[in-house]
């Protein structure tokens, strides 16, 4: 039921209860009504003043066009590559996200994937469960991660948290990005290909979207080489998935650890059939602690907006200059 004194907010993702409950206390919440009941949505659309969703949520221009009273888009996630930010800005609608509160969690999973793929931990688990240890003896030897060379594609908030952890493993660290960062001591390479040719593990942690689309292509994978591992905790769009599958099948690279995919939640059968990959279902930030912190920040942005206070964490394009 709608309460006239509460602003109306449309959700564009399946949000967790610990976010939905406080949302319902403060707002009239229309849960994905544009998808579940377009007719009912059309009736309430003029009253909707906020949109909230997750890092993978679509907020296209066409949706905003239907919401004349829209005042804010609050994303519970740091990535917002499917939000049409220029269209929001054109309507003077700020977009907010949840940076920093998930750095540790995503970095932890990146290191977990590196260890998993190099030391074959999931394969080893399957080996023991299948009774092969007693039947076939020890597994083939794995690859050492400590002391290896790490390349980070996108040395931002999360990239730096990954580097900090890798230092603890005695790894050497190098990075690429659109430009060299002042005050960063790690060697800089001008492209992902140049970086890939110098490292054992290439970790991708850039934003998604059109500027990074298929940045990790066949040439980058060839440069990484048959002893190299690719880890993607960014967005599936950043990697050319067909080229990656081919590289894994042909031994062009040694293996991959993937948390994100081009067409989530669908993962190509060809990837699922390979034994030199470790696959996780876009879960890098998915712990109780971190998702709660993300929900709290997404809610805080909505509350600040409707109280006329400064937003907690607008996306860079929407920050006052
Ligand atoms: P951030 O602090 O903005 O860092 C992004 C980094 O990417 C920056 O160092 C930036 O460096 C680099 N970059 C941006 N555009 C680039 C381009 N075209 N080519 C090369 N490098 C580029 O963001 P963050 O908080 O670390 O988050 C990064 C991304 O991780 C998010 O946008 C999201 O997509 C992803 N993520 C995934 C999960 C998950 O569950 N798997 C969870 C959280 C975040 P320059 O500016 O120097 O180019
Ligand atoms: C989550 C993410 O999958 O923050 C991001 O960009 O991809 C992840 O943390 C998502 O945002 C949860 O809503």
Nearest C-alpha neighbor of 84 from the set 60, 49, 55, 56? 60
- Dist CA 262 CA 260 (whole Å): 7
HSE at residue 47, side-chain half, CA atoms within 13 A, is 17
Question: 152 pairs with which residues across the strands?
Answer: 175, 203
Nearest C-alpha neighbor of 293 from the set 105, 50, 145? 105
Q: Are 8 and 30 in contact (CB under 8 A)?
A: yes
| Ligand approaching nearest to the C-alpha of 12 | 2
Cα 53 to the center of its chain, rounded Å: 14
3-state secondary structure 145-174: CCCCEEEEECCCHHHHHHHHHHHHCCCEEE
Give the active site residue among 264, 289, 309, 317: 264
| Ligand approaching nearest to the C-alpha of 15 | 2
Structural domains in the chain, sorted by start: 3-99+288-318 (3.40.50.720), 103-279 (3.40.50.720)
Cα 165 to the center of its chain, rounded Å: 19
Ligand 2: distance of its center to the CA of 284 in Å? 8
Residue to mutate (ligand 2; options 55, 159, 264; most atoms within 8 A of CB): 55
Atom of ligand 1 nearest to the CA of 283: 40
Q: Write the Ramachandran bin of 73: left for phi over 0, alpha for psi from -120 to 50, otherwise beta.
A: beta
Give the active site residue among 49, 97, 189, 282: 282
Kindly state the helix (H) or strand (E) to which residue 175 belongs, with its residue range: strand 172-176
What integer pLDDT is reported at residue 4 of this predicted model?
64
Active-site residue, 235 included:
yes
Sequence-distant (≥ 6) Cβ neighbours of residue 4 within 8 angstroms: none
Nearest C-alpha neighbor of 68 from the set 95, 35, 42? 42
Nearest C-alpha neighbor of 111 from the set 56, 171, 196, 177? 171
What integer pLDDT is reported at residue 5 of this predicted model?
82
Nearest C-alpha neighbor of 280 from the set 259, 264, 310, 249? 259
What integer pLDDT is reported at residue 145 of this predicted model?
98
User: Could you list the pLDDT tens digit for every one of the 321 residues in the chain?
Assistant: 456 689 999 999 999 999 999 999 999 999 999 999 999 999 999 999 999 999 999 999 999 999 999 999 999 999 999 999 999 999 999 999 999 999 999 999 999 999 999 999 999 999 999 999 999 999 999 999 999 999 999 999 999 999 999 999 999 999 999 999 999 999 999 999 999 999 999 999 999 999 999 999 999 999 999 999 999 999 999 999 999 999 999 999 999 999 999 999 999 999 999 999 999 999 999 999 999 999 999 999 999 999 999 999 999 999 975
């Amino acid at each position: 039921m709608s309460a006239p004194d509460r602003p109306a907010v449309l959700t564009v993702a399946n949000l967790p209860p610990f976010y939905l409950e406080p949302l319902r206390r403060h707002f009239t919440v229309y849960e994905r009504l544009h998808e579940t009941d377009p007719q009912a949505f059309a009736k309430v659309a003029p009253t909707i003043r906020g949109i909230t969703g997750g890092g993978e949520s679509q907020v296209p221009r066409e949706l905003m066009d239907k919401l004349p009273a829209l005042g804010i888009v609050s994303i519970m996630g740091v990535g917002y590559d499917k939000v049409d930010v220029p269209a929001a800005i054109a309507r003077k609608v700020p977009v907010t996200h949840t940076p920093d509160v998930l750095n540790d969690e995503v970095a932890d999973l990146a290191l977990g994937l590196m260890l998993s793929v190099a030391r074959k931990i999931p394969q080893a688990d399957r080996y023991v469960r299948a009774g092969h240890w007693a039947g076939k003896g020890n597994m083939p030897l794995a690859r050492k991660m400590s002391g290896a060379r790490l390349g980070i594609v996108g040395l931002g908030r999360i990239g730096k948290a990954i580097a900090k952890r890798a230092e603890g493993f005695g790894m050497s660290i190098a990075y690429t990005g659109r430009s060299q960062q002042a005050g960063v001591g790690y060697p800089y390479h001008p492209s992902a290909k140049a970086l890939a040719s110098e490292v054992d593990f290439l970790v991708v942690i850039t934003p998604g979207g059109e500027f990074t689309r298929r940045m990790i292509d066949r040439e980058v994978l060839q440069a990484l080489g048959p002893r190299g591992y690719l880890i993607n905790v960014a967005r599936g769009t950043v990697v050319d998935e067909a080229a990656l599958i081919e590289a894994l099948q042909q031994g062009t690279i040694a293996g991959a650890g993937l948390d994100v995919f081009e067409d989530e939640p669908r993962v190509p059968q060809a990837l699922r059939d390979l034994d030199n990959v470790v696959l996780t279902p876009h879960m890098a930030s998915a712990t109780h602690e971190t998702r709660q912190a993300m929900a709290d920040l997404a809610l805080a942005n909505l509350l600040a907006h409707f109280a006329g206070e400064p937003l907690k964490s607008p996306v860079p394009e929407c920050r006052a200059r």
